[in-house]
Amino acid sequence: MDLLRHLRIFVAVAEELHFGRAADRLGTAQPPVSQAVRALERELGAELFDRSRHRTALTSAGALLLEETRELLAREERLRALARRAADGGLGTLRAAVPTGTTAAAVSALLAACAEHTPEPAVELREATTAEQLRLLGSGGLDVGLVHRPVAAATGLRLGPEASSELGVVLPRTSPLARGPRVSLADLSGQDLVVFPRDEAPGWYDRLLENCRAAGFVPGGVRHASSPEFLLALVAAGNGVAFDQGAAARREPRVAWRPLSGTPLVRRIGGAWPAGPSAHPAAPRFAALAARVLARHGAAAGRHAGTSPPSEGPPRPWSVVFG
């Protein structure tokens, strides 16, 4: 029996709970799918599905096997990816990612630190959302990522040290709240919040909204912006407020940044890499180095936040990269 093939078919049926849809997903006819599941059940000595005319459901044995099978197939994919990289001479490269929206200054500082402290292996850096990084880490497409904490699903991962940074509020420069030196979260209640889409980093998204509500900021509505440019455009047009370390205020004259008084909003970013023998040996070192660099960069951003933009020249276009 080709066990891995049969297990892939089992997963497709378990996720679709329909033999016909599973066959369509696998690009085959339904009879071979049914036969493969029957053969797997005979091999394992357990019924994996309750079948009736109207529905297909997992048995308790099937539900237990599903989680183990997903992990086994993920490990197989990581093993294949590792073998391909070894054959291509790619083990001398560390494939790493930073969150989308990381500032140019932070990326430059991180790459400079890698070149200085860990010149080998070469770092191949990319930008990806937390959710995308977690998917790539699970499939073997990434060696180490820097993800927003908390991580909603960290199964099969090791987590490194965190870098923390306090956020302030980004307001339209014409907002009455921009006249004072600080703003409390409760002062913002009723205003719309502009924030990244939840599916980019579900754990951090939920924590952010929970902390806002606990401190008295209940948004009138939530607007989503994936790009810093669109986020700033919405804030500048009076369509909401956002949270940032302050880089936006320094580069865009149509908005103002103010630190928060009272309860702080703290963003945490830390390394994540696959657990087990397939992990890249340089992943923990990169995660620790990145945490130190991002912590220093966050502290520097906080010291310089809120400085006035240059007065000469026309307003800049939406060219901000915020952290």
- Token representation of residue 267: 């963003």
317 pLDDT band, cuts 50/70/90, is very low
Q: Are 177 and 188 in contact (CB under 8 A)?
A: yes
* Backbone φ, ψ for residue 137 (5° rounding): -65, -40
* CA-based nearest residue to 32, from 16, 14, 13: 13
Q: What's the token pair of residue 315?
A: 């307003």
Contact between 151 and 270 under an 8 Å Cβ cutoff? The reply is no
Distances (CA, A) of 287 to 172, 210, 293: 36, 27, 10
- What residues make up the domain containing 300? 93-323
Say yes or no to pLDDT of 312 above 80.
Answer: no
Do both 285 and 313 map to the same domain?
Answer: yes
Across the strands, what pairs with 170? 242, 257
C-beta of residue 133 within 8 angstroms of C-beta of residue 188: no
State whether 135 and 192 are in the same domain: yes
* CATH number, residue 60: 1.10.10.10
Given 58, 87, 116, the domain boundary residue is 87
Q: What integer pLDDT is reported at residue 303 of this predicted model? A: 54
Please give the average per-residue pLDDT across 27-52, as a whole number. 94
Q: What tens digit of pLDDT does each residue of 272-294 get?
A: 999 987 789 899 999 999 999 99
Domain identity same for 193 and 82: no
Residues 169 and 226 reside in one and the same domain? yes
For residue 90, pLDDT over 90 is answered with: no
Task: Provide the b/e sequence for 168-199 (b: ≥16 CB within 10 Å).
Answer: bbbbbeebebbeeeebbbebbeebbbbbbebe
CA distance 181 to 179: 7
Number of independent structural domains in the chain: 2
pLDDT in tens, 169-197: 999 999 999 999 999 999 999 999 999 99
Nearest to 240 by CA among 190, 271, 194, 279: 194
Q: Are residues 101 and 77 in the same domain?
A: no
Q: Do 134 and 248 share a domain, yes or no?
A: yes
Q: Are residues 149 and 253 in the same domain?
A: yes
Final residue in a domain of this structure, among 87, 122, 137: 87
Strand (E) or helix (H) holding 20: helix 19-26
Mean pLDDT, the chain, whole residue set: 88
**What CATH number did the domain enclosing 138 receive?**
3.40.190.290
How far is Cα 41 from Cα 25, in angstroms, rounded to an integer?
21
Position 38, amino acid: R
69 with 192, same domain: the answer is no
Residues 112 and 252 in one domain: yes
Residues 123 and 70 in one domain: no
- List the structure tokens of 246: 């302050």
> In b/e form, how buried is each residue of 220-255, taking b as 16+ CB within 10 angstroms?
eeebbbeebbebbbbbbeeebbbbbbbbbbbbbbbb
Q: Within 10 Å of residue 129's Cβ, how many Cβ atoms? A: 21
196 and 292 co-located in one domain = yes
- Give the pLDDT of residue 87: 64
pTM reported for the whole predicted model: 0.67
Which one of 27, 60, 87 terminates a domain?
A: 87
Is 98 found in the same domain as 82? no
The CA distance from 191 to 221, in Å, is 7
Q: Cα dist. 109→122, 142, 227, 310 in Å?
A: 15, 21, 22, 24
| Confidence band, pLDDT 50/70/90 cuts, at residue 88 | low
